[in-house]
Amino acid sequence: MKEILRRLDRMYPAATCALHHHNPWELLVATILSAQCTDKRVNEVTPGLFAKYPTPADFAAARQEVLANDIRSTGFFNNKARSLIGAARKVVTDFGGQVPRTMEEMLTIPGAARKTANVVLGTAYGIASGVVVDTHVQRVAVRLDLTKNTDPVKIEQDLVKILPRERWVLFSHQVIHHGRALCAARKPKCAECGLDDLCYARDKTA
């Protein structure tokens, strides 16, 4: 694990969240939109979205069918619009318009499961509440034999046991970048990978 972390630092020294945002609320919205959607597409949608709905109160007052049309290109737009309006109303009503800073409170927000909560707490507030496990982290963790599980919650439990807490946030960013750049689901670029000799995944290409 220490060697993996050392090499990740060398490969991705400045890794950070790929979702563009200016505050915790915008990051929460972007993360909800990123479900089953690329970060690139989300980043194309959010500038206009935040111009139209600058605050949580603006989202809370939105008509669901109008908001759904605004985010149509991100997919699953009806469900996402419902979640965003519910999240906005919760943040405005229960948290004074500010995204909360604890996992327990975050999980009461519509559309915010553990992955979303970890993204917002870790990136927006620097709070290491857990490890973000998206599809990239799930794939890379299995390939590097850091877990035998396939369920994201169980994978997170495995990772927090072997990762220093001060690395939880950065590790997620680095592995997500690694999953996009080299350790792809199909045809991973093993010959270019700085972790190649530490990895013995069954689907290696080199």
Residue positions annotated with a catalytic role: 115, 134
CA–CA separation, 186 vs 180, rounded Å?
11
- Across 172-200, b (16+ Cβ under 10 Å) vs e yields bbbbbbbbeebbeeeebebeebebbeebe
CA–CA separation, 183 vs 139, rounded Å?
8
8: tokens are 């990740």
By C-alpha distance, which of 126, 104, 108, 95 is closest to 27? 126
Torsion-angle region of 14 (φ positive above 0: left; ψ -120 to 50: alpha; else: beta): alpha
Element (H, E) at 39: helix 39-52
Backbone angles phi, psi at 106, to 5 degrees: -60, -40
CA–CA separation, 97 vs 87, rounded Å?
10
